[in-house]
């Protein structure tokens, strides 16, 4: 009897759970449908404004319309219109009302709205802004750099990259560094490589302020230069390799940019680093140097250095040296000497590298 009652309660409980789940899904679906309807209506309102602007040949907005830029829903609709193909009209509105929009967003928008507006700025083609228009948006973005919201800071940087003013980006990076705010090195490097202005001038400005940045930001700058294939400052970086005050991370980044242009001088630098640091506690630069030596085939000095690196106490140095050695197809007697030698760690690293190469073949 009790078993039947208990079983019925279980069935009722399951049915109630399913019913509640279905009700929640229906409610969420209804809310999503209402939001889509609302966004569609707001997008049509933006398009109607664009139509009127085109008809009268003037993209100036009323104060009421300016206030829309501190509304999350209207910002999403504006961005939706941009994504659907009306980015030119969006840019014209942003351009024609720069002072009013920037002032309103700065004073009335919350953090999310400010960050979203900065993102919208980064997506539009604003390269033909005049100096006054550019300045108001640059000032707005710079103000967001000191915001506690990572969303705001990242989108502010994106806006500055898009606006193409190198001095403002350098100022923003200095602000971040002075406030000791962490910002992803990858995001920084990716952003710098999206810069819409004169890349060479941008690089010059960054390097003129290089010593003002902390190591984290210096690494991002070097990564940017590496991806942009800018080697005008390689001479400066070579000097810094010999500077004990430069961090290991920055030195690793310096090696990565230098090895992009193989030469006898760079080969000697890489060999020197591998031999000097390969067996030390600060082995990181040696691990990077080993990877760069694959650019020098049929070079006994290189294979000798890699044979030394494969005996390193550091796993990273051993494996990078082994992988580089295998790529260079060294003499069989050299390979056999390591495989049959007394250094078990070196022979294991080389066996693994050989097996990995055969697997990829």
The string of pLDDT tens digits covering residues 192-210 is 999 999 999 999 999 999 9
Q: What is the pLDDT of residue 6?
A: 60
Q: Contact 150/115 with Cβ under 8 angstroms?
A: no
| Distance of alpha carbon 67 from the chain centroid | 32
Q: What pTM was computed for the model?
A: 0.84
Confidence of residue 215 (pLDDT cuts 50, 70, 90): confident
Confidence of residue 182 (pLDDT cuts 50, 70, 90): confident
Token pair of 323 as six digits: 């992988």
Write out the H or E segment, with its range, that includes residue 44: helix 2-56
Q: What is the pLDDT of residue 200?
A: 95
The pLDDT of residue 118 is above 90: yes
Q: Which residues does 201 contact at the CB level (< 8 Å), separation at least 6?
A: 166
Please write down the HEC assignment for all residues of 66-113: HHHHHCHHHHHHHHHHHHHHHHHHHHHHHHHCHHHHHHHHHHHCCHHH
Instruction: Average the pLDDT over 264-281 and give the result.
Output: 96
Q: Contact 61/100 with Cβ under 8 angstroms?
A: yes
The pLDDT of residue 324 is above 80: yes
Q: Contact 95/135 with Cβ under 8 angstroms?
A: no
The closest of 179, 190, 195 to 147, measured between CA atoms, is 179
Q: What is the pLDDT of residue 4?
A: 56
CB atoms within 10 A of CB 11: 10
The greatest distance separating any two alpha carbons of the chain, rounded to the nearest whole angstrom, comes to 91
The pLDDT of residue 18 is above 80: no
Q: What is the pLDDT of residue 359?
A: 84
Where along the chain do its domains lie?
38-147, 164-261, 280-361
pLDDT per residue as tens digits for the range 226-258: 999 999 999 999 999 999 999 999 999 999 999
Where do we find the tokens 């000697």?
268
The pLDDT of residue 7 is above 80: no
The pLDDT of residue 21 is above 90: no
Euclidean distance between CA atoms 255 and 234, whole angstroms: 10
Instruction: Average the pLDDT over 309-338 and give the result.
Output: 95
Euclidean distance between CA atoms 121 and 142, whole angstroms: 13
The pLDDT of residue 114 is above 70: yes
Q: Contact 98/130 with Cβ under 8 angstroms?
A: no
Euclidean distance between CA atoms 186 and 170, whole angstroms: 17
What value does the mean pLDDT of the chain take? 90
Query: How far are the Cα atoms of 39, 90, 299 from residue 53, in angstroms, in the given order?
Result: 21, 11, 69
The pLDDT of residue 187 is above 60: yes
Euclidean distance between CA atoms 52 and 59, whole angstroms: 9
Look at 361 and 84; give whichever has higher pLDDT.
Answer: 84
The pLDDT of residue 34 is above 70: no
pLDDT per residue as tens digits for the range 281-322: 999 999 999 999 999 999 999 999 999 999 999 999 999 999
197: which DSSP letter?
S
313: which DSSP letter?
S
The pLDDT of residue 141 is above 90: yes
Look at 15 and 218; give whichever has higher pLDDT.
Answer: 218
Write out the H or E segment, with its range, that includes residue 327: helix 315-327
3-state secondary structure at position 182: coil
Instruction: Average the pLDDT over 214-220 and give the result.
Output: 91
The pLDDT of residue 9 is above 80: no
Confidence of residue 147 (pLDDT cuts 50, 70, 90): confident
- ∠ CA 111-103-108, nearest 5°, is 40
Q: What is the pLDDT of residue 33?
A: 58
Confidence of residue 183 (pLDDT cuts 50, 70, 90): confident
Question: By CB neighbour count within 10 A (0-12 exposed, 13-18 middle, 19+ buried), where does 348 fall?
Answer: middle
- Hey, CA dihedral for 83, 89, 95, 100, is it positive or negative? negative
Confidence of residue 125 (pLDDT cuts 50, 70, 90): confident
Look at 41 and 148; give whichever has higher pLDDT.
Answer: 41
CB atoms within 10 A of CB 74: 19
């Amino acid at each position: 009897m009790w078993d039947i009652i208990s079983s019925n309660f279980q069935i009722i409980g399951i049915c109630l759970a399913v019913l509640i789940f279905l009700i929640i899904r229906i409610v969420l679906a209804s809310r999503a449908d209402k939001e889509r309807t609302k966004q569609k209506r707001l997008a049509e309102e933006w398009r109607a404004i664009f139509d009127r602007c085109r008809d009268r040949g003037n993209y100036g907005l009323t104060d009421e319309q300016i206030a829309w830029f501190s509304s999350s829903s209207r910002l999403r609709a504006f961005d939706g219109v941009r994504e659907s193909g009306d980015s030119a009209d969006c840019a014209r509105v942003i351009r024609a009302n720069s002072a009013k929009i920037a002032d309103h967003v700065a004073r009335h928008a919350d953090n999310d709205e400010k960050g979203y507006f900065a993102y919208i700025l980064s997506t539009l083609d604003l390269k033909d802004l005049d100096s006054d228009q550019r300045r108001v948006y640059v000032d707005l973005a710079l103000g967001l750099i000191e915001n506690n919201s990572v969303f705001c800071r990242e989108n502010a940087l994106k806006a500055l990259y898009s606006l193409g003013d190198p001095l403002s980006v350098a100022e923003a990076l200095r602000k971040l560094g002075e406030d000791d705010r962490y910002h992803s090195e990858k995001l920084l490097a990716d952003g710098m490589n999206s810069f819409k202005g004169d890349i060479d001038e941008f690089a010059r400005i960054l390097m003129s302020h290089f010593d003002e940045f902390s190591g984290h930001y210096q690494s991002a700058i070097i990564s940017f230069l590496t991806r942009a294939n800018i080697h005008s400052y390689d001479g400066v970086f070579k000097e810094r390799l010999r500077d004990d005050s430069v961090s290991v991370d920055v030195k690793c980044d310096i090696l990565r940019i230098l090895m992009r242009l193989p030469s006898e001088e760079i080969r000697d630098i890489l060999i020197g680093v591998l031999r000097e640091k390969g067996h030390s506690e600060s082995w990181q630069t040696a691990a990077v140097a080993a990877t760069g030596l694959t650019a020098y085939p049929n070079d006994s000095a290189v294979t000798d250095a890699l044979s030394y690196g494969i005996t390193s106490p550091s796993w990273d140095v051993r494996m990078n040296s082994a992988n580089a050695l295998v790529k260079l197809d060294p003499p069989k007697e050299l390979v056999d000497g390591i495989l049959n030698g007394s250094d078990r760690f070196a022979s294991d690293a080389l066996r693994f590298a050989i097996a990995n190469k055969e697997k990829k073949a």
